[in-house]
Structure 1
Amino acid sequence: MKTISSCVEDIIASKPFIEEALNEQIINFSALASNLQMPVSKMLRKDVKTGAIMMALRRYNQPINASTSIRLKHVFNNLGDITVRSGLSDFTFKNSKTLINCNTKVLDSVNLKDHIFYAFTRGIYESNIVISSSEKITVLNEFKDEEQIGLQENLSAITISLPKENSKVVGLYYHIFKRLAWEGVTLYEVISTTNEFTVLVEDNLVDKAFSVIKCLKQ
Protein backbone atom coordinates (compact mmCIF):
# COMPACT_ATOMS: atom_id res chain seq x y z
CA MET A 1 0.00 0.00 0.00
CA LYS A 2 1.32 3.41 -1.02
CA THR A 3 2.03 5.92 1.71
CA ILE A 4 3.05 9.57 1.61
CA SER A 5 6.61 8.59 2.53
CA SER A 6 6.87 5.95 -0.21
CA CYS A 7 5.49 8.39 -2.80
CA VAL A 8 8.01 11.03 -1.75
CA GLU A 9 10.83 8.47 -1.93
CA ASP A 10 9.79 7.39 -5.45
CA ILE A 11 9.70 10.98 -6.70
CA ILE A 12 13.05 11.91 -5.15
CA ALA A 13 14.68 8.74 -6.50
CA SER A 14 13.68 9.82 -10.02
CA LYS A 15 15.16 13.32 -9.57
CA PRO A 16 18.89 13.12 -8.73
CA PHE A 17 19.27 16.89 -8.37
CA ILE A 18 16.63 17.02 -5.63
CA GLU A 19 18.22 14.07 -3.87
CA GLU A 20 21.61 15.78 -4.03
CA ALA A 21 20.18 19.04 -2.67
CA LEU A 22 18.53 17.18 0.22
CA ASN A 23 21.75 15.38 0.98
CA GLU A 24 23.65 18.68 1.02
CA GLN A 25 20.89 20.31 3.10
CA ILE A 26 20.61 23.24 0.70
CA ILE A 27 16.92 22.94 -0.18
CA ASN A 28 13.86 24.66 1.25
CA PHE A 29 11.62 21.89 2.65
CA SER A 30 8.50 24.03 2.63
CA ALA A 31 8.91 25.04 -1.02
CA LEU A 32 9.72 21.48 -2.06
CA ALA A 33 6.69 20.12 -0.16
CA SER A 34 4.44 22.57 -2.01
CA ASN A 35 5.99 21.49 -5.30
CA LEU A 36 5.38 17.82 -4.51
CA GLN A 37 1.82 18.25 -3.24
CA MET A 38 0.12 17.72 -6.59
CA PRO A 39 2.13 14.67 -7.79
CA VAL A 40 1.84 12.97 -4.38
CA SER A 41 -1.90 13.66 -4.28
CA LYS A 42 -2.29 12.13 -7.74
CA MET A 43 -0.30 9.06 -6.73
CA LEU A 44 -2.49 8.52 -3.65
CA ARG A 45 -5.70 9.72 -5.37
CA LYS A 46 -6.55 12.00 -2.51
CA ASP A 47 -5.64 15.45 -1.22
CA VAL A 48 -2.42 15.49 0.79
CA LYS A 49 -1.39 18.39 3.01
CA THR A 50 2.02 19.97 2.53
CA GLY A 51 2.76 19.50 6.21
CA ALA A 52 2.60 15.71 5.83
CA ILE A 53 4.90 15.86 2.81
CA MET A 54 7.34 18.08 4.69
CA MET A 55 7.42 15.52 7.50
CA ALA A 56 8.22 12.78 4.97
CA LEU A 57 11.01 14.90 3.49
CA ARG A 58 12.60 15.45 6.89
CA ARG A 59 12.51 11.72 7.56
CA TYR A 60 13.95 10.84 4.14
CA ASN A 61 17.33 9.16 4.28
CA GLN A 62 19.32 8.78 1.09
CA PRO A 63 20.01 5.06 0.57
CA ILE A 64 23.75 4.56 1.00
CA ASN A 65 25.63 1.36 0.49
CA ALA A 66 28.63 1.73 2.79
CA SER A 67 30.77 -0.66 0.78
CA THR A 68 29.99 1.13 -2.49
CA SER A 69 30.67 4.53 -0.91
CA ILE A 70 34.10 3.45 0.30
CA ARG A 71 35.02 1.96 -3.07
CA LEU A 72 33.89 5.11 -4.87
CA LYS A 73 36.06 7.28 -2.64
CA HIS A 74 39.00 4.96 -3.28
CA VAL A 75 38.56 5.20 -7.06
CA PHE A 76 38.23 8.98 -7.05
CA ASN A 77 41.26 9.34 -4.78
CA ASN A 78 43.25 7.22 -7.21
CA LEU A 79 42.25 8.81 -10.49
CA GLY A 80 45.23 9.02 -12.82
CA ASP A 81 46.31 11.75 -15.21
CA ILE A 82 43.75 14.14 -16.63
CA THR A 83 44.60 15.09 -20.21
CA VAL A 84 43.02 17.89 -22.23
CA ARG A 85 43.08 17.98 -26.03
CA SER A 86 41.57 20.90 -27.93
CA GLY A 87 40.98 21.66 -31.58
CA LEU A 88 38.83 18.62 -32.32
CA SER A 89 36.09 17.87 -34.85
CA ASP A 90 33.32 15.29 -34.55
CA PHE A 91 32.01 13.71 -37.77
CA THR A 92 28.88 11.56 -37.95
CA PHE A 93 28.26 9.24 -40.90
CA LYS A 94 25.47 6.83 -41.72
CA ASN A 95 26.67 3.25 -41.53
CA SER A 96 27.35 1.50 -44.83
CA LYS A 97 29.23 -1.54 -46.15
CA THR A 98 32.12 0.69 -47.26
CA LEU A 99 32.39 2.86 -44.13
CA ILE A 100 35.00 0.69 -42.40
CA ASN A 101 37.24 0.83 -45.48
CA CYS A 102 37.08 4.63 -45.42
CA ASN A 103 37.91 4.64 -41.74
CA THR A 104 40.88 2.32 -42.33
CA LYS A 105 42.33 4.80 -44.83
CA VAL A 106 42.03 7.66 -42.35
CA LEU A 107 43.58 5.51 -39.63
CA ASP A 108 46.52 4.65 -41.90
CA SER A 109 47.06 8.35 -42.51
CA VAL A 110 46.98 9.48 -38.87
CA ASN A 111 49.24 6.61 -37.76
CA LEU A 112 52.06 8.34 -39.60
CA LYS A 113 51.60 11.56 -37.62
CA ASP A 114 52.37 12.37 -34.01
CA HIS A 115 50.03 14.09 -31.55
CA ILE A 116 46.83 13.43 -33.52
CA PHE A 117 43.70 12.74 -31.48
CA TYR A 118 41.56 10.03 -33.03
CA ALA A 119 38.54 8.01 -31.85
CA PHE A 120 36.10 5.94 -33.88
CA THR A 121 32.76 4.68 -32.55
CA ARG A 122 30.38 2.50 -34.53
CA GLY A 123 26.75 2.35 -33.49
CA ILE A 124 23.85 0.41 -34.98
CA TYR A 125 22.89 3.01 -37.57
CA GLU A 126 25.66 5.59 -37.49
CA SER A 127 29.33 6.03 -36.71
CA ASN A 128 31.36 8.85 -35.22
CA ILE A 129 34.91 9.98 -35.82
CA VAL A 130 36.47 12.42 -33.37
CA ILE A 131 39.73 13.70 -34.76
CA SER A 132 42.10 16.65 -34.61
CA SER A 133 40.66 19.41 -36.79
CA SER A 134 43.93 19.53 -38.75
CA GLU A 135 42.81 16.24 -40.34
CA LYS A 136 39.39 17.53 -41.41
CA ILE A 137 40.29 17.53 -45.13
CA THR A 138 41.60 13.97 -44.89
CA VAL A 139 38.32 12.75 -43.41
CA LEU A 140 36.19 14.62 -45.95
CA ASN A 141 38.25 13.23 -48.84
CA GLU A 142 38.18 9.63 -47.66
CA PHE A 143 34.47 9.74 -46.76
CA LYS A 144 33.34 11.78 -49.77
CA ASP A 145 31.07 8.97 -51.02
CA GLU A 146 29.51 8.34 -47.61
CA GLU A 147 26.37 9.97 -46.20
CA GLN A 148 27.46 12.60 -43.67
CA ILE A 149 24.87 13.22 -40.97
CA GLY A 150 26.66 15.83 -38.91
CA LEU A 151 29.83 17.76 -38.15
CA GLN A 152 30.66 19.63 -34.95
CA GLU A 153 33.87 21.63 -34.61
CA ASN A 154 35.55 23.63 -31.81
CA LEU A 155 35.47 20.72 -29.38
CA SER A 156 37.83 19.66 -26.60
CA ALA A 157 38.37 16.27 -25.01
CA ILE A 158 39.13 15.63 -21.34
CA THR A 159 40.50 12.14 -20.73
CA ILE A 160 40.73 10.59 -17.26
CA SER A 161 42.83 7.55 -16.45
CA LEU A 162 40.84 5.25 -14.17
CA PRO A 163 42.11 2.68 -11.66
CA LYS A 164 41.87 -0.92 -12.89
CA GLU A 165 39.08 -1.76 -10.43
CA ASN A 166 36.79 0.94 -11.88
CA SER A 167 34.59 -1.55 -13.77
CA LYS A 168 33.62 -3.20 -10.47
CA VAL A 169 32.44 -0.02 -8.75
CA VAL A 170 28.73 0.82 -8.82
CA GLY A 171 27.82 4.42 -9.65
CA LEU A 172 31.22 5.64 -10.85
CA TYR A 173 30.03 7.20 -14.10
CA TYR A 174 26.82 8.38 -12.45
CA HIS A 175 28.77 10.52 -9.98
CA ILE A 176 30.95 11.98 -12.75
CA PHE A 177 27.91 12.84 -14.89
CA LYS A 178 26.05 14.21 -11.88
CA ARG A 179 28.83 16.61 -10.94
CA LEU A 180 29.19 17.84 -14.50
CA ALA A 181 25.44 18.34 -14.83
CA TRP A 182 25.28 20.08 -11.45
CA GLU A 183 27.77 22.66 -12.75
CA GLY A 184 25.86 23.13 -16.01
CA VAL A 185 28.38 21.34 -18.24
CA THR A 186 26.76 19.92 -21.36
CA LEU A 187 28.51 16.84 -22.72
CA TYR A 188 28.67 16.65 -26.50
CA GLU A 189 29.87 13.06 -26.49
CA VAL A 190 31.35 10.39 -24.22
CA ILE A 191 34.07 7.94 -25.22
CA SER A 192 35.39 5.20 -22.96
CA THR A 193 37.73 2.24 -22.91
CA THR A 194 38.30 -0.16 -20.03
CA ASN A 195 40.56 2.16 -18.05
CA GLU A 196 40.04 5.54 -19.73
CA PHE A 197 37.05 7.84 -19.76
CA THR A 198 36.78 10.78 -22.16
CA VAL A 199 34.18 13.53 -22.28
CA LEU A 200 33.86 15.77 -25.29
CA VAL A 201 32.70 19.34 -24.66
CA GLU A 202 32.50 22.57 -26.58
CA ASP A 203 35.60 24.75 -26.18
CA ASN A 204 33.82 27.36 -24.07
CA LEU A 205 33.02 24.71 -21.42
CA VAL A 206 36.39 22.96 -21.22
CA ASP A 207 37.75 25.02 -18.28
CA LYS A 208 34.65 24.41 -16.18
CA ALA A 209 34.56 20.71 -17.06
CA PHE A 210 38.25 20.29 -16.22
CA SER A 211 37.75 22.00 -12.87
CA VAL A 212 34.82 19.71 -11.98
CA ILE A 213 36.74 16.56 -12.88
CA LYS A 214 39.86 17.71 -11.08
CA CYS A 215 37.81 18.33 -7.92
CA LEU A 216 36.62 14.70 -7.99
CA LYS A 217 40.13 13.69 -6.99
CA GLN A 218 39.79 15.79 -3.84
Structure 2
Amino acid sequence: MKTIASCVDEIIMSSPFLEEGLSRDIINFSALAKDLNHTISQMLRKPVKDGAIMMALRRHQQPLNLDNSVPLKRVFKNLGDITVRSNLSDFTFQNSKSLINSHTQVLEKISANQQIFYAFTRGMFESNIIISTSEKESISKAFKNEVLIGQQDKLSAISIYLPKGNSKIAGLYYQIFKRLAWERITLYEVVSTTNEFTIVVEDLLVDKAFSVIKRLKD
Protein backbone atom coordinates (compact mmCIF):
# COMPACT_ATOMS: atom_id res chain seq x y z
CA MET A 1 0.00 0.00 0.00
CA LYS A 2 1.26 3.45 -0.87
CA THR A 3 2.17 5.83 1.90
CA ILE A 4 3.19 9.47 1.99
CA ALA A 5 6.79 8.38 2.52
CA SER A 6 6.76 6.02 -0.47
CA CYS A 7 5.21 8.73 -2.65
CA VAL A 8 7.89 11.19 -1.58
CA ASP A 9 10.63 8.65 -2.32
CA GLU A 10 9.13 7.91 -5.75
CA ILE A 11 8.93 11.60 -6.69
CA ILE A 12 12.45 12.39 -5.52
CA MET A 13 14.02 9.36 -7.17
CA SER A 14 12.44 10.33 -10.50
CA SER A 15 13.64 13.95 -10.23
CA PRO A 16 17.49 14.09 -10.27
CA PHE A 17 17.59 17.88 -9.87
CA LEU A 18 15.26 17.72 -6.88
CA GLU A 19 17.36 14.99 -5.31
CA GLU A 20 20.49 17.05 -5.94
CA GLY A 21 18.95 20.10 -4.28
CA LEU A 22 17.91 18.12 -1.20
CA SER A 23 21.34 16.53 -0.85
CA ARG A 24 22.91 20.01 -0.85
CA ASP A 25 20.38 21.42 1.67
CA ILE A 26 19.39 24.22 -0.69
CA ILE A 27 15.65 23.43 -0.83
CA ASN A 28 13.12 24.68 1.71
CA PHE A 29 11.25 21.64 3.06
CA SER A 30 8.11 23.61 3.92
CA ALA A 31 7.84 25.17 0.46
CA LEU A 32 8.55 21.84 -1.25
CA ALA A 33 5.91 20.06 0.87
CA LYS A 34 3.28 22.58 -0.26
CA ASP A 35 4.36 22.17 -3.88
CA LEU A 36 4.12 18.36 -3.70
CA ASN A 37 0.81 18.27 -1.83
CA HIS A 38 -1.45 18.14 -4.90
CA THR A 39 0.61 15.40 -6.60
CA ILE A 40 0.80 13.22 -3.49
CA SER A 41 -2.89 13.72 -2.76
CA GLN A 42 -3.67 12.45 -6.25
CA MET A 43 -1.32 9.50 -5.83
CA LEU A 44 -2.99 8.50 -2.56
CA ARG A 45 -6.49 9.56 -3.71
CA LYS A 46 -7.08 11.46 -0.50
CA PRO A 47 -6.06 14.83 0.98
CA VAL A 48 -2.80 14.96 2.91
CA LYS A 49 -1.28 17.56 5.22
CA ASP A 50 1.80 19.59 4.36
CA GLY A 51 3.31 18.71 7.74
CA ALA A 52 3.17 14.97 6.99
CA ILE A 53 4.86 15.52 3.64
CA MET A 54 7.54 17.68 5.24
CA MET A 55 8.23 14.94 7.81
CA ALA A 56 8.60 12.38 5.00
CA LEU A 57 11.01 14.71 3.18
CA ARG A 58 13.18 15.01 6.29
CA ARG A 59 13.24 11.23 6.75
CA HIS A 60 14.07 10.52 3.11
CA GLN A 61 17.35 8.65 2.85
CA GLN A 62 19.67 10.65 0.64
CA PRO A 63 21.94 8.65 -1.70
CA LEU A 64 25.69 8.65 -1.25
CA ASN A 65 27.10 12.05 -2.21
CA LEU A 66 29.15 10.98 -5.21
CA ASP A 67 30.52 14.50 -5.66
CA ASN A 68 32.87 13.85 -2.75
CA SER A 69 33.91 10.37 -3.86
CA VAL A 70 37.71 10.13 -3.74
CA PRO A 71 37.95 7.71 -6.72
CA LEU A 72 35.66 9.99 -8.75
CA LYS A 73 37.73 13.08 -7.96
CA ARG A 74 40.88 11.18 -8.91
CA VAL A 75 39.43 10.23 -12.31
CA PHE A 76 38.46 13.82 -13.11
CA LYS A 77 41.89 15.10 -12.05
CA ASN A 78 43.51 12.60 -14.42
CA LEU A 79 41.32 13.19 -17.45
CA GLY A 80 43.32 13.03 -20.65
CA ASP A 81 43.13 15.23 -23.72
CA ILE A 82 39.84 16.85 -24.68
CA THR A 83 39.45 16.92 -28.46
CA VAL A 84 36.89 18.91 -30.44
CA ARG A 85 35.87 17.96 -33.98
CA SER A 86 33.53 20.19 -35.98
CA ASN A 87 31.78 19.97 -39.37
CA LEU A 88 30.05 16.69 -38.61
CA SER A 89 26.84 15.15 -39.94
CA ASP A 90 24.60 12.54 -38.35
CA PHE A 91 22.63 9.87 -40.22
CA THR A 92 20.15 7.34 -38.82
CA PHE A 93 19.10 4.39 -40.96
CA GLN A 94 16.60 1.60 -40.43
CA ASN A 95 18.37 -1.71 -39.89
CA SER A 96 18.37 -4.12 -42.82
CA LYS A 97 20.27 -7.16 -44.05
CA SER A 98 22.20 -5.02 -46.54
CA LEU A 99 23.12 -2.23 -44.11
CA ILE A 100 26.44 -3.75 -43.10
CA ASN A 101 27.49 -3.90 -46.76
CA SER A 102 26.81 -0.19 -47.12
CA HIS A 103 28.81 0.43 -43.97
CA THR A 104 31.72 -1.58 -45.39
CA GLN A 105 31.77 0.55 -48.56
CA VAL A 106 32.20 3.71 -46.52
CA LEU A 107 34.93 2.20 -44.35
CA GLU A 108 36.90 1.12 -47.44
CA LYS A 109 36.73 4.64 -48.83
CA ILE A 110 37.78 6.51 -45.69
CA SER A 111 40.20 4.01 -44.11
CA ALA A 112 43.27 5.72 -45.56
CA ASN A 113 42.28 9.17 -44.30
CA GLN A 114 42.85 9.47 -40.55
CA GLN A 115 41.47 13.03 -40.53
CA ILE A 116 37.91 11.88 -41.11
CA PHE A 117 35.71 11.48 -38.05
CA TYR A 118 33.56 8.35 -38.20
CA ALA A 119 31.43 6.65 -35.56
CA PHE A 120 28.98 3.82 -36.20
CA THR A 121 26.44 2.49 -33.69
CA ARG A 122 23.98 -0.33 -34.34
CA GLY A 123 20.86 -0.63 -32.22
CA MET A 124 18.04 -3.18 -32.26
CA PHE A 125 16.04 -1.43 -34.99
CA GLU A 126 18.18 1.38 -36.34
CA SER A 127 21.81 2.33 -36.87
CA ASN A 128 23.53 5.66 -36.49
CA ILE A 129 26.50 7.15 -38.34
CA ILE A 130 28.37 10.31 -37.37
CA ILE A 131 30.84 11.40 -40.02
CA SER A 132 32.72 14.43 -41.28
CA THR A 133 30.35 16.49 -43.40
CA SER A 134 32.83 16.33 -46.30
CA GLU A 135 31.80 12.66 -46.70
CA LYS A 136 28.05 13.25 -47.00
CA GLU A 137 28.11 12.29 -50.66
CA SER A 138 29.84 9.00 -49.83
CA ILE A 139 27.10 8.18 -47.35
CA SER A 140 24.38 9.07 -49.84
CA LYS A 141 25.86 6.74 -52.46
CA ALA A 142 26.67 3.83 -50.16
CA PHE A 143 23.29 3.93 -48.38
CA LYS A 144 21.11 4.92 -51.34
CA ASN A 145 19.00 1.75 -51.00
CA GLU A 146 18.56 2.06 -47.23
CA VAL A 147 15.74 3.76 -45.33
CA LEU A 148 16.92 7.09 -43.93
CA ILE A 149 15.16 7.88 -40.64
CA GLY A 150 16.90 11.13 -39.80
CA GLN A 151 19.79 13.39 -40.79
CA GLN A 152 21.40 16.41 -39.11
CA ASP A 153 24.27 18.71 -40.09
CA LYS A 154 26.21 21.42 -38.22
CA LEU A 155 27.30 19.15 -35.37
CA SER A 156 30.47 19.01 -33.29
CA ALA A 157 31.97 16.24 -31.17
CA ILE A 158 33.87 16.61 -27.90
CA SER A 159 35.94 13.55 -27.02
CA ILE A 160 37.35 12.95 -23.54
CA TYR A 161 40.11 10.43 -22.85
CA LEU A 162 39.41 8.70 -19.55
CA PRO A 163 41.96 7.08 -17.21
CA LYS A 164 42.17 3.29 -17.16
CA GLY A 165 39.80 1.70 -14.67
CA ASN A 166 37.13 4.36 -15.19
CA SER A 167 34.49 1.70 -15.87
CA LYS A 168 34.64 0.68 -12.20
CA ILE A 169 33.97 4.20 -10.85
CA ALA A 170 30.36 4.72 -9.77
CA GLY A 171 28.77 7.99 -10.83
CA LEU A 172 31.33 8.96 -13.50
CA TYR A 173 28.91 9.46 -16.39
CA TYR A 174 26.23 10.77 -14.04
CA GLN A 175 28.48 13.65 -13.01
CA ILE A 176 29.24 14.52 -16.63
CA PHE A 177 25.60 14.41 -17.71
CA LYS A 178 24.49 16.32 -14.62
CA ARG A 179 26.83 19.23 -15.22
CA LEU A 180 25.84 19.44 -18.87
CA ALA A 181 22.16 19.35 -17.93
CA TRP A 182 22.60 22.14 -15.37
CA GLU A 183 23.93 24.31 -18.20
CA ARG A 184 20.96 23.33 -20.40
CA ILE A 185 23.19 21.66 -22.98
CA THR A 186 21.26 19.22 -25.14
CA LEU A 187 23.21 16.16 -26.26
CA TYR A 188 22.50 15.11 -29.83
CA GLU A 189 24.41 11.82 -29.56
CA VAL A 190 26.66 10.02 -27.08
CA VAL A 191 29.37 7.53 -28.11
CA SER A 192 31.72 5.70 -25.77
CA THR A 193 34.44 3.07 -25.74
CA THR A 194 36.33 1.65 -22.78
CA ASN A 195 38.57 4.68 -22.27
CA GLU A 196 37.02 7.31 -24.52
CA PHE A 197 33.78 9.23 -24.13
CA THR A 198 32.33 11.44 -26.87
CA ILE A 199 29.37 13.78 -26.82
CA VAL A 200 27.89 15.28 -29.99
CA VAL A 201 26.17 18.65 -29.81
CA GLU A 202 24.92 21.25 -32.23
CA ASP A 203 27.60 23.74 -33.29
CA LEU A 204 25.98 26.60 -31.38
CA LEU A 205 26.47 24.71 -28.10
CA VAL A 206 30.01 23.41 -28.58
CA ASP A 207 31.86 26.27 -26.85
CA LYS A 208 29.59 26.08 -23.81
CA ALA A 209 29.85 22.27 -23.68
CA PHE A 210 33.64 22.40 -23.96
CA SER A 211 33.83 24.82 -21.01
CA VAL A 212 31.73 22.47 -18.88
CA ILE A 213 33.88 19.45 -19.77
CA LYS A 214 37.09 21.37 -19.14
CA ARG A 215 35.89 22.40 -15.67
CA LEU A 216 35.54 18.73 -14.72
CA LYS A 217 39.27 18.78 -13.98
CA ASP A 218 38.94 21.65 -11.48
Asked if these proteins are the same fold (TM beyond 0.5), I'd say yes
Number of aligned residue pairs: give it.
217
Q: Which residue of 2 aligns with 1:105?
A: 105
Q: Which residue of 2 aligns with 1:57?
A: 57
Q: Which residue of 1 aligns with 2:95?
A: 95
- Distance, in Å, in 1 between the alignment partners of 2:61 and 2:206 is 35
Q: Deviations over 1:104-160 (max 9, x none)?
A: 111111122231111111112211110000111111112112221211000000111
- Distance, in Å, in 1 between the alignment partners of 2:5 and 2:174 is 25
- Distance, in Å, in 2 between the alignment partners of 1:123 and 1:3 is 39
Q: Which residue of 1 aligns with 2:80?
A: 80
- The one-letter amino acid paired with 2:128 is N
- The one-letter amino acid paired with 1:123 is G
Q: Which residue of 2 aligns with 1:187?
A: 187
- The one-letter amino acid paired with 2:148 is Q
- Distance, in Å, in 1 between the alignment partners of 2:128 and 2:30 is 47
- Distance, in Å, in 1 between the alignment partners of 2:46 and 2:99 is 58
2:126 equivalent to 1:126: yes
| Contact 2:23/2:65, CA 8 A, preserved across alignment | no
- Quick one: structure 1 residues 2 and 123, their matched pair in 2 at CA, closer, same or farther if it must change by over 3 Å? closer
What is the correspondence of 1:139-178 to structure 2 with a 5 Å cutoff?
A: 139-178=139-178
Matched position secondary structure for 2:165: helix
Matched position secondary structure for 1:164: coil
Q: Deviations over 1:38-74 (max 9, x none)?
A: 23334445432213323433454522177x9222222
- Distance, in Å, in 2 between the alignment partners of 1:65 and 1:149 is 40
| Contact 2:93/2:150, CA 8 A, preserved across alignment | yes
- The one-letter amino acid paired with 1:207 is D
Matched position secondary structure for 2:47: coil
- The one-letter amino acid paired with 2:166 is N
- Quick one: structure 1 residues 148 and 44, their matched pair in 2 at CA, closer, same or farther if it must change by over 3 Å? closer
Gaps of 5+ in 2: none
- Distance, in Å, in 2 between the alignment partners of 1:123 and 1:45 is 41
Cα RMSD of the aligned pairs, angstroms, is 2.1
Per the normalisation by structure 1, the TM-score is 0.89
Matched position secondary structure for 1:128: strand
Gaps of 5+ in 1: none
- Quick one: structure 1 residues 45 and 145, their matched pair in 2 at CA, closer, same or farther if it must change by over 3 Å? closer
